[in-house]
Amino acid sequence: EPTAAEKAIKYRQSAKTVMATHFGMLGGILKAEKFDEDAAEKQAEILDVVARLPWSKFGPGTEGGNAKPELWSNTAKFEEYRDLLLKSVDDLEEAEELDEFKKAFAGMGDACKKCHTEFRVKK
Ligand code: ASC
């Protein structure tokens, strides 16, 4: 039986795998020759839910996985990156034109990258 920490790590990694999959699907839609706005809106809707899932599973006692210990000693910074991500999915939800989707998409990728650079172990 996995420990509570192992379950938390599995959960947050799984949620991020799903998030990355939909992020990639949206990227494909935004690069396509003809913009399918309905398809982009569907992905934004999914991301707006999925992007909220991982964060409660980084609580005290869940150190490990691919996260650096610094994540638990600098939670303010971690939460700043999380909020940056959540702002970008709000922007995605509000986007109505290709340019707006692209801008929010870039913001989302930027938030992913900033947090990974600081808090994810280098592989
Ligand atoms: C992904 C993924 C990330 C982000 C990041 C965006 O698909 O797994 O960590 O996008 O590379 O900059």
Provide the pLDDT for residue 24: 98
The pLDDT of residue 47: 98
Burial of 88 (0-12, 13-18, 19+ CB in 10 A): buried
Which ligand 1 atom lies nearest to the CA of residue 24?
7
**Each residue's pLDDT tens digit in the chain (123 positions)?**
999 999 999 999 999 999 999 999 999 999 999 999 999 999 999 999 999 999 999 999 999 999 999 999 999 999 999 999 999 999 999 999 999 999 999 999 999 999 999 999 997
Ligand 1, from 17, 26, 112: best to mutate by most atoms within 8 Å of Cβ? 112
Evaluate if pTM is beyond 0.90: yes
pLDDT (0 to 100) of residue 123: 77
Backbone angles phi, psi at 31, to 5 degrees: -100, -10
Burial (Cβ within 10 Å: 0-12, 13-18, ≥19) of residue 92: buried
User: What are the pocket residues of ligand 1 if the criterion is a CB atom closer than 6 Å to any ligand atom?
Assistant: 20, 23-24, 109, 112-113, 116
Give the distance (Å) from ligand 1 centre to CA of residue 48.
16
